[in-house]
């Protein structure tokens, strides 16, 4: 049984069955006692006393209207609260949900049925009397069903307004519109942008309310959109990838020069860039506040880059590497050392994966970025960042050595240049950590029988200050 069927059973069928069964059991039991066990008495259900039927049908419309009023009031309050807390898209999604229209519509139809039956009801103890027994039974059955579905409907509303469900609905609706070729291009682009921005809004608003789980769901949904989009790309027309008109005036693109917009159009990456810009916004908001969001964004960015490697999507891979560097720059500027450590780890895992693709040139590119941002952190008086970079480069070199990668010597050269910048007493501990990482790599070479590479590290350290060694 899939999740949808389980949800239908849990929200609708099970409570409806329990309530209907309990109500029917109570009625049959009490009716059986009152009738003295006479089965013929059940005929009164289908041919009730006309006066009693008139009173019952007269009250039906009032009961339905009262229940409908209560339902609308409760639902409106709950929807408004959810909309204010997360995103205004909640109201739109709720109104467009067919179940809500079906339930409310059934209440209205029941009330109209009761009113119309009461209008045609004619009982004066004359031969010409008209008593609509079928209409009465249908109206009362509809009233019973209205009362029975109230609690399951409230359960449905609460389930619908679950923030995780809202996130999933926004993602699914957005990707459905993107892949719908019959819809006008401008409308599809606008819907894609709106869906991305609303998912980001849910993430930001959730961070404000300390709802970490919902923020993480938004981050995962944005990643899922990129992955789903890759499957749709081959079927999209060329005009979809052009950044102009209303799309070019979007806040994430309006500040870009014409040359940059032309490059984005040529590389066909505006959709991915839009999502990654929202990743950047979420990442910056989470720095020093909600580090788990930073870690998840780094993990998702790495997984997307690995997918780009596997599918040979060079444009997407380059874009993701660019945003990895953006994360590191923002982390150093925010002086969030703990986040830097975890982001560098994900970046290293990406470099290790890149070693297995083609000549490993992308791993060398990432290693150069490692060196650069390690030194940026070093000069920003965050020496631990440089030490972390050193140990990550050490691990990358060990893997390159094991795989006999053609770029191993270049990676070693970059690693030995990590500590070539000017030094100070305050940062001495970090530079010692760099040398420790280099000694660790030299020892690894010796253990694996490559004295030549170990001696390269030895020669690099030959003129090192004795007190540091």
| C-alpha Rg value of the chain to the nearest Å | 34
Q: What is the pLDDT of residue 11?
A: 84
Instruction: Kindly report the number of other CB atoms within 10 A of residue 143's CB atom.
Output: 23
Cα-Cα-Cα-Cα torsion 274, 277, 283, 286, nearest 10 degrees, comes to: -80
DSSP state of 123: -
Is the distance from CB of 321 to CB of 365 less than 8 angstroms? yes
Please tell me the pTM assigned to this model.
0.85
Is the distance from CB of 277 to CB of 252 less than 8 angstroms? yes
Q: What is the pLDDT of residue 201?
A: 94
DSSP state of 45: G
- Can you read off the two tokens belonging to residue 58? 């007269």
Instruction: Kindly report the number of other CB atoms within 10 A of residue 276's CB atom.
Output: 24
> Cα 219–223–228 angle (5° rounding)?
145
Q: What is the pLDDT of residue 1?
A: 44
SS3 assignment, position 130: strand
Rounded Cα–Cα distance for residues 261 and 258 (Å)? 5
- Can you read off the two tokens belonging to residue 207? 């961070």
**CB under 8 A, 24+ apart: contacts of 318-321:** 319/267, 319/269, 319/272, 319/273, 319/276, 320/276, 321/350, 321/362, 321/365, 321/366, 321/369
SS3 assignment, position 417: coil
Q: Which residues share a beta bridge with 122? A: 130
DSSP state of 13: I
From first to last of its 469 residues, what are the pLDDT tens digits of the chain?
466 677 778 888 899 899 999 999 998 888 888 887 776 767 777 777 777 788 888 889 899 999 999 999 999 999 999 888 888 888 888 988 999 999 999 999 999 999 999 888 876 665 657 788 889 899 999 999 999 999 999 999 999 999 999 999 999 999 999 998 777 899 999 999 999 999 999 999 999 989 999 999 999 999 999 999 999 999 999 999 999 989 999 999 999 999 999 999 999 999 999 999 999 999 999 999 999 999 999 999 999 999 999 999 999 999 999 999 999 999 999 999 999 999 999 999 999 999 988 889 999 999 999 999 999 998 888 989 999 999 999 999 999 999 999 999 999 999 999 875 545 555 556 678 888 999 999 999 999 999 999 999 988 887 776 666 6
What residue segments make up the domains of the chain, in order of their start? 43-160
Instruction: Kindly report the number of other CB atoms within 10 A of residue 374's CB atom.
Output: 28
Tokens 């940026």 correspond to 376
Is the distance from CB of 85 to CB of 209 less than 8 angstroms? yes
Q: Which of 194, 251, 196, 204 has its CA nearest to residue 223?
A: 196
Is the distance from CB of 12 to CB of 156 less than 8 angstroms? yes
Q: What is the pLDDT of residue 368?
A: 97
Residue 21's H or E segment, with its range, is helix 14-34
């Amino acid at each position: 049984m899939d999740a949808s069927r389980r949800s239908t059973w849990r929200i609708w069928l099970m409570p409806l069955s329990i309530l209907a069964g309990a109500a029917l059991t109570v009625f049959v039991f009490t009716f059986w006692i009152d009738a003295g066990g006479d089965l013929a008495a059940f005929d009164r259900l289908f041919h009730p006393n006309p006066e009693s039927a008139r009173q019952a049908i007269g009250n039906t419309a009032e009961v339905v209207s009262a229940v409908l009023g209560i339902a609308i009031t409760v639902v409106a309050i709950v929807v408004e609260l959810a909309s204010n807390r997360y995103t205004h898209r909640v109201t739109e999604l709720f109104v467009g949900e067919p179940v809500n229209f079906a339930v409310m519509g059934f209440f209205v139809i029941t009330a109209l049925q009761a009113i119309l039956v009461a209008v045609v009801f004619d009982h004066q103890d004359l031969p010409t009397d008209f008593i609509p027994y079928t209409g009465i039974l249908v109206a009362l059955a509809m009233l019973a069903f209205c009362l029975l579905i109230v609690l399951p409907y409230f359960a449905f509303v609460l389930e619908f307004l679950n923030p995780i469900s809202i996130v999933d609905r926004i993602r699914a609706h957005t990707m459905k519109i993107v892949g719908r070729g019959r819809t006008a291009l401008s409308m599809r682009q606008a819907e894609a942008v709106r869906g991305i921005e609303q998912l980001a809004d849910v993430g930001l608003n959730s961070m404000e309310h300390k709802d970490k789980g919902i923020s993480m769901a938004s981050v995962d949904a944005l990643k899922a959109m990129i992955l789903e989009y890759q499957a749709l790309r081959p079927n999209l027309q060329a005009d979809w990838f052009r950044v102009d008109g209303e799309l070019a005036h979007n806040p994430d693109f309006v500040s870009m020069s014409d040359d940059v917009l032309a490059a984005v159009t040529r590389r066909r990456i505006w959709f991915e860039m839009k999502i990654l810009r929202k990743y950047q916004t979420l990442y910056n908001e989470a720095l020093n506040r909600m580090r788990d969001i930073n870690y998840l964004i780094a993990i998702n960015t790495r997984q997307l880059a690995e997918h780009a490697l596997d599918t040979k999507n060079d444009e997407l891979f380059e874009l993701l590497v660019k945003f990895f560097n953006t994360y590191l720059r923002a982390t150093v500027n925010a002086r969030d050392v703990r986040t830097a450590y975890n982001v560098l780890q994900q970046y290293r895992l990406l470099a290790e994966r890149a070693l297995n693709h083609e000549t490993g040139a992308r791993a060398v590119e990432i290693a150069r970025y490692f060196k650069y941002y390690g030194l940026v952190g070093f000069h920003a008086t965050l020496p631990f960042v440089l030490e972390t970079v050193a140990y990550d480069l050490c691990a990358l070199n060990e893997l390159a050595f094991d795989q006999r990668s053609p770029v191993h010597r270049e990676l070693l050269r970059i690693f030995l240049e990590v500590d070539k910048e000017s030094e100070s007493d305050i940062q001495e501990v970090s530079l010692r950590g760099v040398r420790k990482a280099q000694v660790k790599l030299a020892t690894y070479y010796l253990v694996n029988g490559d004295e030549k590479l170990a001696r390269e590290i030895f020669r690099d350290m030959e003129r090192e200050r004795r007190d540091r060694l």
